Chains A and B, each alone.
Chain A
Amino acid sequence: MNVPTRLAGLFAIALLALIASLLVGGSSVAPGDLLYALAHPHAGSDVVTILWQLRMPRVCIAAVVGAELAIAGALLQGLLRNPLVDSYLTGVSPGAAAAIALSVVAGIAAPALPAIGFVAGLGTAMLVAAFARRGAGLDAIRLILCGVSLSALFSAVVTLVLTRAGADYAAQILAWLAGSTAGRGWHDLFFTLPYAALGLAFALAAVPALNVLRLGETRATAVGVNVARTQWVILIAAALLAASAVAVSGSIGFVGLVVPHLARRVVGGDARSLLPASALLGAALCAIADAASRSIAAPAELPVGVLLAFVGVPTFLYLYLNMQKAAA
């Protein structure tokens, strides 16, 4: 199978995952009614409300967040030539979490939290980048070390707030930390979309350079890549995408780390196909995880982030180790 066919296959999988997760939920509705409501959004029935007001925004948010995290992870893994890197390496998630925790305790209203999380996440990424500067560009090792240490610092802030805050506050903070699309609506998505689109544009601009960087920085420089500029473009792209995801859904780990690996197995390492493949797989994975989080313990909700980790990590390890064995 050639790469375009594989990409088309991934697109079909993502589409099926989206439809499947629309059909699943806390309230049991016949699939036929749902499909009717999908085709007639103005019919004015309960099913239409459930589908278009409750499920559709969540599924779309889950898919967008999954795609954002997966692209950000693929970008950073390519830039740093390190497979253990994910979109939160830049400190986006812990920075946002610390800001959200402090805001909750300060009594800031819930609707403002995504914006605060976005700004804090992006700010932390820029702080990490400032520490990791070397000459005009970035030092990969220093970026990883600064990201990890600032993340530890901000996680400590969250823990401190959690231990000092009252039970109500703690519950609100924990709900955010666990990563969830529960109670999120269109406005949360639309507020971050422009930034995510900007991040995506930066990512696409870096695609040819990202491909040449697979040969190492020295050789990329020799064929005319402005390595310093490329590093900044990719870092800003990844930070914008990750901050957009974090602002909407809180800390969802695992996707940014694992999805690019799976995508690489399917379409190879060429950024021209790796980025779309990562986006499609990330969207499919998060849409399915969101559906599962709504239905497994219905009417209670499991946090998507927790679910992804519980189911996804063992699956990934199993698949990956088996594929390694098959390749050897």
Chain B
Amino acid sequence: MIALHAAEIGIDGRSLIAPATATIEAGRFVAILGANGVGKTTLLRVLAGALRPLRGEVRIAGSDPATLAPLARAHRIALVTSDDAPVDGLSARDVVAAGRYPFHRWWEWTEDRDDTGAIERALAAVGMSGFSGRRFETLSSGERQRIWIALALAQGAPVLLLDEPTSHLDVRVAHEILALLRAQAEAGRTIVCAMHDLNDAATYADALMLLGDRSMLAFDVPERVFTEPLLERAYGIPMEIVRASSGAPRAFATGNASGGYPGP
């Protein structure tokens, strides 16, 4: 379970999100939405314990992620960053095996049976079992993203944080990735995922956390977050909500930004 208690999120003393309180139950899939620069990545870094909230408290399964020792933190929280540092000379499996780092002391250099099982399960969960021997740099963007997610799964942490895992991916691959995250949520993992595509978020997430106007504008089920005033306030552009044939709400921007970009 993830809890924010009157947590103010910001960086270098500059506030991005006014004090907010929210609880994410275990096994839920929450999408963080909001304009560029609104603080989605910063919020993820706070949840990952890489940054402290300016004020208030953050708890992951009862403990403050910022004060956990690095290894203890890695056992509880896995983070898939959007950082695209080059990876040279590693196979896809080597990359996933990095997720087993927190399970070994520094003198334990060899992969044990638990590691092998976890790595193979993680590769299978992202549909990449046949790619384990492929060199990472020869994989497509979508395949790389699957491998990064497999690394996080091999880590075995109950909380999985992802920063825009579907950016730069085509429609089909994006849906496949979100579906596999959905499956992980069904299996009991807590998924918190920063995203840009509103309709993908509404399709796959249990709840949407909408950031904007230096605050958490909404944290609710997609049905209640998908209102024209809320989305217009968050993105500064006229929005229209329509219904898909399934009855699910879909949001579309309808024209030029009125009044310009609201600023972070």
Contacts and interface: CB of A to CB of B under 8 A. Distances in A.
A224 interface: yes
A215 B85 contact: yes
B89 interface: yes
B155 interface: yes
A269 B98 CA distance: 14
B242 interface: no
Given A205-B106, A207-B106, A207-B109, A224 B85 contact: no
A39 B24 CA distance: 74
B89 A222 contact: no
B171 interface: no
Given A219-B83, A221-B50, A225-B101, A272 B70 contact: no
A211 interface: yes
B86 to A, nearest CB: 8
B70 A208 contact: no
Interface stretch (B74-82, B197-205, B208-216): B74-82
B89 A269 contact: yes
Contact residue range for chain B?
20 to 34
Nearest to B84: A216
B230 to A, nearest CB: 32
Interface string A254-285: 00000000001000111010000000000000
Interface string A208-250: 1101101110111111111000000000000000000000000
Given A268-B89, A269-B89, A223 B106 contact: no
A209 B107 CA distance: 11
Contacts of B95: 215
Contacts of A221: 50, 70
B87 interface: yes
Interface string B32-65: 0000000000000000101000000000000000
B106 A208 contact: yes
A224 B152 CA distance: 12
Given A205-B106, A216-B85, A219-B83, A269 B74 contact: no
B134 to A, nearest CB: 15
Nearest to B73: A224
A222 B48 contact: yes
Contacts of B73: 224
B99 A223 contact: yes
6 contacts: A209-B101, A215-B87, A218-B83, A219-B85, A222-B48, A269-B89
10 shortest interchain CB distances as A-B pairs: A224-B74, A216-B85, A224-B102, A222-B79, A269-B89, A224-B71, A223-B101, A224-B70, A218-B83, A212-B98
